[in-house]
Amino acid sequence: MEQEQQPLDPPHVLIFPLPAQGHINSMLKLAELFALAGLKTIPDGLPQDHPRVGYSIIEIFESLLLITKPILREMLANTKPPVDCIIGDGALGFILDVADELGIPIIQFLTVSAATIWAYFAIPDMIEALELPIRGNEDTDRLITRVPSMETFLRCQDLPSFCRANDITDTNLQLMAQTTRKNCNGDGLLLNTFEELEGAILSHMRTKCPKVYTIGPLHAHYKTRLAETYETSFDQSSNGLWEVDRSCLSWLDNQPNESIVYASFGSFVVLSREQIMEFWFGIVNSRKRF
């Protein structure tokens, strides 16, 4: 008689996000799509009352490296059944080191646009061409020419704030440049985008990182999959760090199509009252609903 085949254990995947709202949004949606069960969490090493906002981003990375990295290594080494694959946050290069040390396949997931990643990837080239650092407000309209496919329109003012560092040894600037390029050392790179939106940029990216896979938009995939599975619609997201204020929805539902300006500042930004008022006046003067 033929021996009965034993059922295979389901894949055991660890998903490890940077503890920030924008990163958690996408990575939890990916986890939900994988229908993972029994998720475990490990600490980021910071006290509960730590603000975890933009000005303290280096503290977050330092704490993750010092405290979370050894916890992650120990957890992976002792997990039964063993983890078959890690999906790490592309902002955290140390996950690649842990995976390599333990011999676990790893795919990095970058939660920002392909265009953003490609600009980060070119930071060393911009520094070599003396296009960085940006020196003062007089540089805001200067074209950046060392990002392939963006030579004719990318300006200094389009780059993130860490590119305005006073010198090229700035910690934030070097961290983003090194981490972005390090992601190519993994077994693949997942992006929450799609070919029809960023095909030109993706073609350039694949000359440096051939194993780039587009899986976006995740929120639309997840909503469709839920509707197919449960034969009903789901509008509420389950991946926020804070309770969502939905009081504006009734007002939004009564506005004409394509008539609303939506301004998002991200979860790391810290704005002064003066900055908030400047945004407010600008949007009000646009005479658009917001």
- Is 12 one of the catalytic residues? no
In angstroms, the Cα distances linking 268 to 19, 58, 223, 240, 260 are 11, 12, 27, 14, 24
- Is 187 one of the catalytic residues? no
Q: What is the dihedral of CA 19, 25, 29, 35, to 10 degrees?
A: 30
111-117 long-range CB contacts below 8 Å, 24 or more apart?
111/22, 111/23, 111/25, 111/26, 111/27, 111/192, 112/22, 113/193, 113/198, 114/191, 114/193, 114/198, 114/201, 114/202, 114/205, 114/214, 115/150, 115/198, 115/201, 117/90, 117/180, 117/191, 117/205
Catalytic residue among 12, 89, 158, 235: 89
Catalytic residue among 9, 23, 84, 235: 23
Active site residues: 23, 89
